[in-house]
Amino acid sequence: MRVLVVEDEERLARTVQRGLELEGFVVQLAHTGTDGLWAAVEDSFDVIVLDIMLPGLSGYEVLRRLRARDVTTPVLMLTAKDGDYEQADALDLGADDYLTKPFSFVVLIARLRALLRRRAPQQPVLLTAGDLVLDPARRTVRRGETALTLTPREFGLLEFLLRHKGLALTKIEILRNVWDAHYDGPENVVEVYIGYLRKKIDAPFGSTSIETLRGVGYRMVDPGWSGDGQVDDESGSAPR
């Protein structure tokens, strides 16, 4: 899930970014209202965390312009202003939720997940490929009755593949949605993590869930899928 955090306090923004990434989110930061508005209009996000007191344009003005342009991305206002009128103004302008500083990170995560559930009620509660089951809410993965332990990056990669089951996904698409929109490192990090996943979700069970499409990318499939993909044994190393 991709999150835009518009916050001018850089230390707080980085702290929120690190925390969200540990929960499996892909986070992009903006430190001014102008930059935040541009990012929200030009790119696609699942949810936006927006401060009110921002240089350039206030959070109120960013929100007003977003809604005027029919950008319907859920917005959670994160601010030190805790008055009733401030909250009412934000909600009237189109905010979906409001959280005041200082805040509990546990509550922030819970509210973001609630916004995501309301935005996409059609998405299944559980993501599956055969007897491989991922529960996004509980952050658990199992193959049949066996619970699997994944790193946050592995979990995010598996969730992205399962949400797009049956579709061919390029390395660039995977990097953009699981790593970072501005990731500029080597693309083969995707191959490395695909290898990590296969060793945990497939190899011990004699299963093949992830196809390698030569020259294209990867595809998550159900058992018995009949496609033209080729599965390679990919290996490598990358920091976890």
Per-residue pLDDT of the chain (240 residues; tens, 9 = 90+): 789 999 999 999 999 998 898 888 889 999 999 999 999 998 888 899 999 989 999 999 999 999 999 888 999 998 776 667 777 877 888 889 988 888 888 899 989 988 887 765 545 578 999 999 999 877 899 999 999 999 988 998 999 999 889 999 999 889 888 886 566 678 889 999 999 999 999 999 999 999 999 888 999 998 765 555 444 444 433 444
Q: What's the CA angle centered on 109, arms 149 and 29, to 5 degrees?
A: 100
CA–CA gap between residue 148 and residue 214 (Å, rounded): 28
> Which residues, at least 6 apart from 24, have a Cβ–Cβ distance to it below 8 Å?
1, 139, 152, 155, 156, 159
Collapsing DSSP states into helix, strand and coil, what is residue 202? helix
- Which residues, in sequence order, are bridge partners of residue 100? 79
Tell me the pTM.
0.60
